[in-house]
Structure 1
Amino acid sequence: MLQVHEIREHLEAYTTALAKRGLSAKTSLEEILEIDEKRRSTQASLDETLAQSNTFSKEIGMLFKNGETQKANLLKEKTTQLKERSKALQESLNDAVAQLESKLYNLPNIPHESVPSGTDETDNEEVFREGDVPTLEETALPHWELAKKYDLIDFELGVKVTGAGFPVYKGKGARLQRALITYFLDKNTEAGYTEYQVPHLVNEASGFGTGQLPDKEGQMYHVTADDLYLIPTAEVPVTNMFRDELLPHTKLPVTCTGYTPCFRREAGSYGAHVRGLNRLHQFDKVEIVRIEHPDKSYEALDGMVEHVKEILRDLKLPYRILRLCGGDLGFTSALTYDFEVFSTAQDRWLEISSVSNFETFQANRLKLRFKDVDGKNKLVHTLNGSALALPRVLAGILENYQTPSGIEIPEVLRPYCGFDRIE
Structure 2
Amino acid sequence: MRTQVGIVGAGPAGLLLSHLLHLAGIESVVLEARNRAYVEQRVRAGVLEHPTAELLREVGVGERMTREGLPHEGLVLRFDGADHRMPLAELTGKTITVYGQQEVVKDLIARRLADGGRILFESTDVCLHDLTTDRPRITFVDAEGKVRQLDCDVIAGCDGFHGVSRPSIPADKLRVFQRTYPFAWLGILARTPPSHEELIYTYSERGFALHSMRSPELTRLYIQVSPEEQLADWPDERIWDELHARLRLGNGFSLHEGPVVDKLLAAMRSFVVEPMRYGRLFLAGDAAHIVPPTGAKGMNLAVADVRLLARALTELLTKANADLADAYSESCLRRVWRAEHFSWWMTSMLHRFPEDDPFAQRLQLSQLRYTTSSTAAATSMAENYVGLPFD
State the TM-score, normalizing by the size of structure 1.
0.24
State the TM-score, normalizing by the size of structure 2.
0.25
Which structure features the higher share of helix residues? 1
